[in-house]
Amino acid sequence: MRPGRFVPAFCRVAGLIGIMAILLIYLPFTLPRLLGCQVLVITSGSMEPQIPVGSLIYVQEVSDPAVLQPGEVITFHSGLDGTLEEDTITHRIKENDIQNEQLITQGDANTMTDLHPVPYHMLLGVVKKHLPLWGNFALVLNTFWGRVFSVGVLVFSVGCYMLGGRFRENR
């Protein structure tokens, strides 16, 4: 490689790597949403060791809760109005009481079933997949400084890529 080609090539490659890194980092948070899943973070240890604290979970809505089986992991609202996000719980189904339209649940790390059954209307969906540690990453990226960092890396990467093209034109 001639000396005049190294800097433009380096800038283009560094820019592409930075752009691809940002896209790959945000892919696990955005693609599932486009496919109809809710993306949530596990913040308590009630499902350990199966789903550790800091895991990212993908929750798929269920059209008919009567088909749910014991052993499936679900996410539901525990609040009375069913709208408070801070009241979101993820536990395993122990029993599906179809007649009363409610689910009996228990966290894997808990010794007893939950005190209150989960009415069908409080169900958010079934956990389809979880990624350990990615939830912690999502929490950091969702802060002000996490977003500033991501935008900064993206702007810097695009700038490097464009600078490499500019160097190449000026040769």
Instruction: Kindly list the catalytic residues.
Output: 44
Q: Are strands 73-77 and 56-60 parallel, antiparallel or unpaired?
A: unpaired
Largest distance between two CA atoms of the chain: 77
User: What is the DSSP code (8-state) at residue 11?
Assistant: H
Beta partners for residue 57, in sequence order = 40, 130
Residue from 53, 35, 29, 120 nearest 82 by CA: 120
Place of tokens 């496919």: 35
CA distance 139 to 87: 17
